[in-house]
Amino acid sequence: ARWCGRWCARTGSPTPTGTRSTWWIRSASPSTSDASANPTRLGSWLASTARNECLRTLRSLSRLTVTSDPHLLDRVSEESTPEQAVLESEEAAAQSERIRRLWQEFEELGDRCRQLLRVLIASPPPSYQEVSAALGVAVGSIGPLRQRCLRRLRARLDARGTTR
């Protein structure tokens, strides 16, 4: 149901109330009650049903303009299709969640790793001599320390199931 709101807001469609109502009716219909009987798959089934209903609604809202101008027929549309809008919205949400988890795990690293990585990701990146002076770390230790810190961060993210 939250997807309907996001998609309708993105496309400027009316409120998703009608889509939600239709979705609940389809979800409760006898033809689909068998598909939702397995409790372990209920969440994914409801999500895919909601997604499909939102796509159906968005498709029904698109307008068809008939023309005989061959130049218009060959023109590539600059507007995204409802499917593209859905995929872009889902990818943006997934990317936002990955970034949130990354920074959450970053904050759980030790002080030394957080300081080093923050200095190294500065723009423009400082030289190793500048990093050495700022953090009191030998120049030859910066690379190996950076590698260990990134390995720890990657392990923490992998432990939480965050994909790259």
Residue 45 sits in which domain range? 2-61
* CATH code of 139's domain: 1.10.10.10
pLDDT digits (tens, 9 = 90+) for 60-76: 666 566 666 766 666 66
pTM, two decimal places? 0.48
- Residue 122 near residue 129 (C-beta atoms within 8 A): no
**In this structure, is residue 109 part of a structural domain?**
yes
Q: Quote the pLDDT of residue 66.
A: 65
Written as six digits, the tokens of 67 are 């023309």
Give 45-50 contacts, CB < 8 A, sequence gap 24+: 47/3, 49/23, 50/1, 50/3, 50/4, 50/23
**In this structure, is residue 116 part of a structural domain?**
yes
CA distance 84 to 42: 26
143 has pLDDT over 60: yes
Number of domains in the chain: 2
**In this structure, is residue 35 part of a structural domain?**
yes
**In this structure, is residue 124 part of a structural domain?**
yes
pLDDT digits (tens, 9 = 90+) for 38-50: 667 666 766 777 7
